[in-house]
């Protein structure tokens, strides 16, 4: 920048500064700001209107309900007097989802670790693709497969579980009947949420900074110890988010559950017994033949599912936030 200009001469305003102030640049900014702000507001409006709709219709239904909405083991909004309650649905939804999570999360983390840290590169890419393909199967296909293949196939294993683990109460099969149980539903849901939990976990594991892994390696860590010291702690909050995404899908899954479960309005801790119900399955099964009031009752149960999902997501965020100080983000 050698210049012969005397120091006291005021410099001419640079051309670049003038350009930045032209109108076209500002318009682009405004359009983009409007678009993104609009999208954000739209999302809030949609959520709020769903909540208002659910609450309004639910309040109509609950005000006429002669039974206790939370504790009644029955669903008869068309009766005289109308009696219905969500106890069985809440129980069935939570139990089938918990079974699904208990099976899917460890398996998904295992697959994700295998793809990201163990598999040779030639195998990793096709394997990841196959797992993602699982997500492309429509849920009704899972339902048909579950009813035609899984249910008859599980009869043998169910007997085995009953015989050897009957003492746990959970696996005590006290009723004769095919495996159209909450446990079977849980297994099916586990397969359905496997791809989303796997692919999100895999992405997180791949993002572990190289230097974090080398820190463990240089201390003399084996491959498993590297995963335990560096990969899993870094990926923890990601795996939690992935699990919550999966849980959200499991809680709301409709067709597959409706196809497999033989619904009944009982609560039983014996998971292998046929029967039970979930919110989404119950709505799908009853919505068509319900009258106006029956539909309001179903919407009331939908409101509970909505709240349940909100609570689950809130809890996940709390867990992630509490671990923030220790997360890899501030490394």
Q: Which residues bind other proteins (CB under 8 A)?
A: 121, 209, 211-212, 214-222, 225, 229-230, 233-234, 236, 323, 325-328, 330-331
Q: Shortest distance, CB of residue 210 to other proteins, whole angstroms? A: 9
Whole-number minimum distance, CB 108 to other proteins, in Å?
Answer: 21
CA distance 38 to 81: 47
Of 185 and 216, which has the nearer Cβ to other proteins?
216
We find the least distance from the C-beta atom of residue 233 to other proteins, in angstroms, to be 4
What lies within 8 Å, CB to CB, of 164 at 6+ separation is none
Half-sphere exposure of 198 (CA within 13 A, CB side): 26
Q: Which is nearer to other proteins, 215 or 319 (CB)?
A: 215
Q: Which is nearer to other proteins, 208 or 257 (CB)?
A: 208
Closest CA to 189 of 265, 251, 273: 251
8 A C-beta contact, residue 127 and residue 119: yes
User: Smallest distance, Å, CB 213 to other proteins?
Assistant: 8
Q: How far is 78 from 99, CA to CA, in rounded Å?
A: 33
* Residue reference for tokens 């005021």: 10
Tell me how far, at minimum, the Cβ of 238 lies from other proteins, in Å. 13
Alpha helix locations (H) across the chain?
Answer: 15-20, 23-64, 87-113, 121-134, 139-145, 151-153, 155-165, 182-206, 210-218, 223-226, 232-252, 255-260, 279-286, 292-322
Nearer to other proteins, 95 or 226 (CB): 226
- 120 three-state secondary structure: coil
Q: Which residues of 6-22 are buried (b: 16+ CB within 10 A; e: fewer)?
A: eeeeeeeeeeeeeeeee
Output 216 or 242, the one with its CB closest to other proteins: 216
Alpha-carbon distances of 30 from 27, 36, 109, 238, rounded to whole Å: 5, 10, 44, 34
3-state secondary structure of 76: strand
| Residue 259 C-beta: closest distance to other proteins, Å | 43
Q: Which is nearer to other proteins, 127 or 144 (CB)?
A: 127
Q: Closer to other proteins by CB, 23 or 210: give it.
A: 210
Q: In the bound complex, what is the minimum distance in angstroms from residue 125's beta carbon to other proteins?
A: 14
């Amino acid at each position: 920048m050698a210049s012969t200009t005397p120091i006291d001469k005021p410099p001419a305003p640079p051309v670049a500064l003038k350009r930045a102030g032209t109108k076209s640049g500002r318009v682009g900014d405004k359009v983009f700001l409007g678009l993104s702000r609009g999208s954000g507001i739209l999302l809030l409006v949609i959520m709020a209107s769903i909540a208002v709709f659910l609450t309004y219709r639910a309040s109509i239904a609950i005000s006429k309900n002669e039974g206790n909405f939370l504790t009644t083991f029955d669903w008869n909004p068309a009766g005289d007097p109308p009696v219905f309650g969500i106890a069985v649905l809440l129980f069935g939804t939570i139990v089938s989802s918990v079974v699904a999570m208990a099976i899917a999360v460890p398996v998904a983390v295992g697959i994700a670790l295998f793809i990201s840290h163990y598999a040779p590169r030639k195998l990793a890419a096709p394997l990841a693709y196959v797992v993602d393909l699982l997500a492309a199967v429509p849920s009704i296909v899972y339902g048909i497969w579950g009813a035609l293949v899984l249910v008859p196939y599980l009869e043998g294993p169910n007997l085995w579980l009953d015989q050897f683990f009957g003492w746990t109460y959970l696996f005590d099969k006290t009723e004769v009947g095919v495996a159209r149980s909450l446990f079977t539903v849980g297994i099916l849901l586990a397969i359905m949420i496997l791809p989303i939990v796997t692919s999100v976990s895999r992405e997180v594991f791949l993002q572990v900074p190289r230097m974090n892994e080398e820190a463990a390696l240089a201390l003399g860590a084996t491959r498993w110890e590297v995963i335990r010291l560096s990969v899993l702690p870094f990926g923890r909050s990601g795996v939690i988010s992935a699990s919550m995404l999966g849980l959200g899908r499991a809680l709301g899954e409709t067709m597959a559950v409706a196809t497999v479960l033989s619904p009944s309005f009982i609560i039983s801790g014996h998971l292998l017994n046929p029967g039970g119900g979930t919110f989404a399955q119950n709505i799908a099964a009853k919505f068509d033949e319900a009258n106006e009031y029956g539909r309001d009752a179903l919407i009331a149960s939908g409101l509970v599912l909505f709240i349940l999902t909100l609570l689950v997501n809130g809890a996940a965020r709390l867990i992630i936030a509490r671990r923030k100080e220790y997360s890899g983000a501030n490394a």
